[in-house]
Structure 1
Amino acid sequence: MSMDRRSLLALASALVPVGIAAEARGQTFSSATRENSLSPGVAFVGASADPAETIRLWSSGAPGMPANRLREMLVERSADPGAPDRAIAGISDPRMAVFRPHCSNGAAVLIMPGGGYRHVVVDKEGYEMARWLADRGFTAFVLFYRLPGDGWTDGADVSLTDAQRAMRLIRQRHAEFAIKPDRIAAIGFSAGGHLCADLATRFGTRIQCTDDELDALTARPCCAAAIYPVVSMSLPDAHRGSRERLLGPAPSPERERKHSPHRNVPADAPPFFILHAEDDPAVPVANALLLRAALKDRGVHVDTHLFARGGHGFGLRKAAGLPVAAWPDLWREWARGIDLI
């Protein structure tokens, strides 16, 4: 029996033991992958669609490379080969995995998965969300951003640098994807929710200038969705793991303020959608409430949805059977109401 390359990759992925790290190069989009070429991406078992292509954020290599070159590692955390739950650590080549719809509705969504700034989740807050969006006409871009604890020069701002760059790249290449440059949304989960809120409040902060044409484009998303987001970097509300990886073990109050999105809301922040479960054991619901209050104080449009049950990290799959399972459709109707679609 002969097998094509995608089938072989899927089989290899299924054979990675749960909790065992495997080198991610060759399974994710490496620096050897050419922009706009078809790529196998991270292989899936039972997947309905793979990414159409990979877009590297920095064609000449990401700036501020650590002295000790990173080795990307992929860890499978699920025992069910039909429901993969992978995470990538040591990201050295930040990139976007692109999911194209069969018929574009003219809007795009930049997805920032969570992972506590320790790694970036691939499946439940990345590819699964991208497929859901693509099935509904959105062009989805899953961002694999650099992590602040890996020794990059920008330190705590390295993830935001990648998010800004990603927004500018999507905006620059909007015609290729049949999307409108003023209809590029952002959505983030957990620590990715922090990055999403950081992008939507500090889009005008210049961190890394590349002296290319992208610097002239705005990094502002047209709207932002923060899903069970990390927001505050001050205790007791902060998620301790994200706070320490982002800022170190004992950050100053000024450093906490700089990296707490609710304390940096500009008057021209985009509309926000906020979602949280009140029984979240990892990220206190106070984070969502702090962000909502700050947006309201600045006169920014915000829709907030709190659910009694849901826990943390539910994404799409773990919300099934609970009232919180309605959240993707709530977001879609909200997006329709603010003219994203």
Structure 2
Amino acid sequence: MRIDRRTALLAGLALPLAARAQTPAPATREPHRLVTPDPTETIDLWPNGAPGAPARLPVEAVKERSTDPAYNDRFVAGIVRPRMAVFRPARPNGAAMLIAPGGGYSWVVVDKEGYEMARWLATRGLTAFVLFYRLPGEGWAAGADTPLQDSQRAMRLIRHHAGRFRIDPKRVGAMGFSAGGHVCADLVARFAAPVYTPVDAADRLSARPGLAAPIYPVVSMTAPTAHAGSRKNLVGEHATPALERAHSPHLHIGADVPPTFLLHAEDDGSVPVENSLLLRAALLAAKVPVETHLFPDGGHGFGLRLSRGKSVEGWQDIFWAWGVKRRLFA
């Protein structure tokens, strides 16, 4: 039977997500430098393009920072098609984790706080989704709410496709690092905030994580506690007190916030440990279960690989034990 072009296009519209072309994961033009193969499965967040696009779209660019052949350390900026890179476990245990890497809202880290954590979780049975969210300073109409649009949408899509990934919709958590910790904390605090117009059936689902783990997170937008770079990129150097308050998650914690795991090194020279302490105090005041771990050394941005040889080494095992105790991981 002969199939004309029009028939083929119409058939394509009916294909499930798994069969449609999705935007590939961010990649450099140097595949020979990859220590571990990049994920091949991705999910675009917005079927008709991200909302509030600027007249002049940014251009996505990926840069490699590592000069060590033993590992990659890339970052991406100019994200126009926000998406999730999917890491499927060999034996899914029904749980999933949304991961928001850091980057000070100047870029989004790819490997250190994204793929490395995702692989670690996948080896333990969790399906991991690394979120490449849009950056608030790149002209999007939602401004400081742009990353929250993407994180809410990501959580809803994970639940919407739970059957495809053999996930229990009630066992979907969120974690983030540094500015990605702010993405996570903001999602925790404002998971139900109406920051975008619903686009499909997925948006009828809850964006509330089953549990959350902001790791060395940016939380406050008020100096001197705020991380200066993240504050500048999210709300601007001359933000009003009202704008600072609107985007400081610890000021928006309610009783419906999920159980939260906090971890920070006290010698963090980039994001003061007071950020985690402010969030902890707010969670305790709202009677939300919270477990907090502070370590004397570790600095900032240690992820998994750079924690070795420091007091913070092995933090992921503590995190895993907490997730098991909360009955989400296993």
3-state secondary structure, aligned to 1:306: strand
* Residue in structure 2 matched with residue 46 of structure 1 by the alignment: 35
Worse overlay, 204-213 or 186-195: 204-213
How far apart, in 1, do the equivalents of 2:24 and 2:230 lie?
Answer: 31
1:172 paired residue among 140, 157, 160: 160
Report the alpha carbon displacement of residue 339 of structure 1 after superposing the two structures with TM. 0.6
In the TM superposition, residue 214 of structure 1 has moved relative to its aligned partner by 1.9
Which residue does 1:3 correspond to in 2?
Answer: none
1:101 aligns with 2:67: no
Which residue is 1:276 aligned to?
264
Closer, same or farther: CA 37–290 of 1 in aligned 2, 3 Å = closer
Residue of structure 2 equivalent to 1:79: 67
CA distance in 2, matches of 1:162, 1:293: 27
Bigger mean CA offset, 203-212 vs 191-200? 203-212
Report whether the alignment pairs 1:119 with 2:107: yes
Corresponding position: 1:315 with 2:315: no
Unmatched segments (≥5 aa) in structure 1: 1-32
Give the match for residue 294 of structure 2: 306
SS in 2 for 1:160: helix
TM-score by length of 1: 0.88
Q: Deviations over 1:177-211 (max 9, x none)?
A: 11100000001000000010000110010110134
Distance 1:146 1:263 in 2: 23
Q: 1:159 aligns with which of 144, 147, 160?
A: 147
- The answer on whether the counterparts of 1:35 and 1:55 sit within 8 Å (CA) in structure 2 is no
1:82, distance to aligned residue in structure 2 (A): 2.3
CA–CA distance in structure 2, aligned partners of residues 195 and 314 of structure 1 = 18
Matching residue of 1:129: 117
Deviation at 1:93? 0.5
1:57 match: 45
Find out whether 1:294 has 2:277 as its counterpart: no
The equivalent of 2:175 in structure 1 is 187
Deviation string 1:64-99 (CA, Å, 9 cap, x unpaired) is 111112100111111013211100011000000000
- Residue range with higher mean Cα deviation, 222-231 or 59-68: 59-68
Distance (whole Å) between structure 2 residues aligned to residue 130 and residue 57 of structure 1? 18
Query: In structure 2, how many angstroms separate the alpha carbons of the residues matched to 1:70 and 1:36?
Result: 21
Match of 1:17 in 2: none
User: Equivalent of 2:192, from 200, 204, 214?
Assistant: 204
CA positional deviation for 1:37: 6.9
- 1:165 deviates by 0.2
Q: Say if 1:82 and 1:237 are closer, same or farther in 2 by CA, change over 3 A.
A: same
- Give the corresponding residue for 2:246: 258
Matches of 2:199 and 2:23 in 1, distance apart? 29
- The 1:82/1:293 distance shift into structure 2, 3 A limit, reads same
Secondary structure (helix, strand or coil) at the match of 1:153 reads coil
* Distance (Å, rounded) in 2 between the aligned partners of 1:39 and 1:252: 38
Match of 1:149, SS?
coil
Q: Percent identity?
A: 57
2:65 aligned partner, one-letter code? R
Once residues 63 and 255 of structure 2 are traced to their aligned partners in structure 1, the CA distance between those partners, rounded to angstroms, is 41
1:241 to 229, 235, 238: 229
User: Aligned letter for 2:196?
Assistant: Q
Letter in 2 for 1:46: V
Q: Is the 8 A contact 2:86 2:128 kept in 1?
A: yes
Q: For 1:50 and 1:336, how far apart are their aligned partners in 2?
A: 28
Structure 2 gaps, min length 5: 1-17
Instruction: Tell me the distance in 1 between the aligned counterparts of 2:308 and 2:192.
Output: 38
Preserved CA contact (<8 Å) 2:23 2:81: no
Which 4+ runs in 1 deviate beyond 3 A?
A: 33-44
| Counterpart-to-counterpart distance in 2, 1:40 and 1:285 | 32
Please tell me whether the aligned partners of residues 46 and 82 of structure 1 are also in contact (alpha carbons under 8 angstroms). Answer: yes
Question: Quick one: distance in 2 between partners of 1:144 and 1:97?
Answer: 8
Question: How far is 1:46 from its partner?
Answer: 2.5
Counterpart CA distance in 2 for 1:204 and 1:278 is 32
On the 8 A contact 2:97/2:175 being kept in 1, the answer is: yes
Whole-Å separation in 2 of the counterparts to 1:302 and 1:285: 16
Q: How many residues align?
A: 308
Residues 23 and 44 in structure 2, CA contact (< 8 A), matched pair in contact too:
no
Checking the alignment, whether the CA contact within 8 Å between 1:38 and 1:53 is kept in structure 2 is: no
Change in Cα spacing, 1:78 to 1:271, as seen in structure 2 (3 Å) is same
- 1:142-153 aligned at under 5 Å gives the runs 142-153=130-141
Tell whether the 8 Å contact from 1:54 to 1:96 is kept in structure 2 after alignment. yes
Distance verdict in 2 for CA 1:79–1:66, change over 3 Å: same
What is the root-mean-square deviation in Å for CA atoms of aligned residues? 1.6
Q: Corresponding residue for 2:202? A: 214
Distance 1:228 1:251 in 2: 23
How has the CA–CA distance of structure 1 residues 211 and 82 changed in structure 2, closer, same or farther, with 3 Å as cutoff? same
Instruction: Tell me if the contact between 2:22 and 2:43 (Cα under 8 Å) persists in the aligned partners.
Output: no
CA distance in 1, matches of 2:326, 2:54: 41
TM-score for the superposition, normalised by structure 2: 0.90
